Amino acid sequence: MSMSDPIADLLTRVRNANERRHKYVMMPSSKIKVEIARILQDEGYINGFEVADVEGRPTLRMELRYSQGRAPVITQLERVSKPGRRVYAKRRDVPRVLQGMGIAILTTPRGVMTGKQARHENVGGEVLCYVW
């Protein structure tokens, strides 16, 4: 099975698992997915993640996070840059999500980082997604 947009796949799997109130979500692993999981963990959107070998394939397993009332911490995930339409932001135009309530995840020459980090390091890049 070939996948044209693995990042959209990650976002969809997290969205679906959140809706069903699953504790974990699993998907094929890749470097970019692990970086996105690291950011989601650092920003407090997920409890943690690990890459395990399942049937000889690297598999990313993310532990979803819920508030006291069992509401998902992630309320929305939005893919910005798609394979058919790439979206780039110059260092001065790095987007703010919901006046800073959410995060933008960018891939920059210095690696995958949040919009806040990109502004701090004065770099632009491809806007992968918004999370809030």
- Rounded CA gap, 83 and 61, in Å? 24
Q: What angle do CA 109, 111, 98 make, to 5 degrees?
A: 100
Q: Tokens at residue 90, please?
A: 């110059």
Mean pLDDT of all residues in the chain? 95
Which conformational region is residue 100 in: left (phi greater than 0), alpha (psi within -120 to 50 degrees), or beta?
Answer: left
Higher pLDDT: 2 or 97? It is: 97
Q: How confident is the model at residue 16 (pLDDT cuts 50, 70, 90)?
A: very high
| CA proximity to 80, closest of 25, 16, 13, 11 | 11
Rounded average pLDDT over 56-77: 94
Q: What is the pLDDT of residues 18-59, one digit of tens each?
A: 999 999 999 999 999 999 999 999 999 999 999 999 999 999
Predicted confidence at residue 2, as pLDDT, reads: 55
* pTM, 2 dp: 0.93
Between the CA of residue 1 and those of 8, 33, 126, what are the distances in Å? 15, 18, 26
Long-range residue pairs from 38-41, CB within 8 A, at least 24 positions apart, any chain:
38/112, 39/103, 39/105, 39/112, 39/113, 39/114, 40/74, 40/131
Model confidence at 99: pLDDT above 90? no
pLDDT band at 74 (very low <50, low <70, confident <90, very high): very high
